[in-house]
């Protein structure tokens, strides 16, 4: 049975990648300080809308810039604080942010597509059910992360991925607006 947005109920969890989904991903670089963090157009509005339809909004992000010593964990926390403060102005927010600072070539690491960050989220929020969860990301590792856990998957953007997501949207706001339309249609 194909996945439809109408299947989402308020007990679902939305896992979101950060760079390229919520904020502009610097080309071959990292968001190293708060001044580098720029929301993608419509992302704040999208998160505000999505917060009405999901029990939890959880960011899961690979941040090997720390492992490469290009930034510190304090820098990353300051970036996330700025993100949450700007979302709060929109009456929006993220319930939790999980990140992996390991290098991609380190064995047994926590980076997506490893399920490590999702299991950490589930430990903090025990009512998260991966069968009622959705992963929205822009890369193959995001889609594989969701699939590894039995989640439904949405690709945001048009980056070439080698795993077919359940659905695709050009940006987070398009997804949020479509979900809102579907939910409003079902109420009427």
Which residues are catalytically annotated? Answer: 17, 19
Helix boundaries (H) for 26-170: 43-50, 64-67, 73-89, 116-124, 140-148
* Secondary-structure percent of the chain, ordered helix, strand, coil, rounded to 5: 40, 15, 45
Sheet holding 167-169, edge to edge: 96-100, 56-62, 13-16, 133-137, 152-156, 167-169
The torsion angles phi and psi of 117, rounded to 5 degrees, stand at -65, -35
Tokens coding 164:
């077919």
Contact at 8 Å (CB) between 72 and 30?
no
- Phi first, then psi: give them for residue 153, nearest 5 degrees: -130, 145
């Amino acid at each position: 049975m194909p996945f439809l947005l109408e299947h989402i109920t308020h007990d679902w969890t939305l896992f979101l990648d950060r760079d390229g989904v919520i904020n502009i991903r610097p080309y071959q670089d990292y968001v190293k300080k708060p001044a580098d963090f720029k929301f993608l157009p419509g992302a704040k509005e999208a998160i505000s809308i999505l917060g009405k339809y999901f029990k939890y909004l959880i960011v899961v992000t690979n941040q090997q810039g720390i492992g490469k010593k290009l930034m510190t964990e304090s820098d990353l926390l300051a970036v996330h604080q700025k993100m949450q403060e700007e979302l709060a102005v929109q009456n929006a927010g993220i319930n939790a942010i999980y990140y992996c600072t390991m290098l991609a070539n380190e064995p047994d690491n926590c980076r997506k597509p490893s399920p490590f960050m999702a299991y950490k989220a589930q430990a903090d929020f025990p009512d998260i059910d991966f069968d009622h969860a959705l992963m929205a990301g822009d890369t193959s590792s995001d889609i594989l992360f969701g699939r590894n856990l039995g989640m439904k998957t949405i690709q945001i953007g048009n980056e070439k991925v080698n795993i077919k997501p359940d659905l695709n949207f050009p940006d987070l706001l398009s997804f949020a607006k479509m979900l809102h339309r579907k939910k409003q249609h079902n109420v009427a």
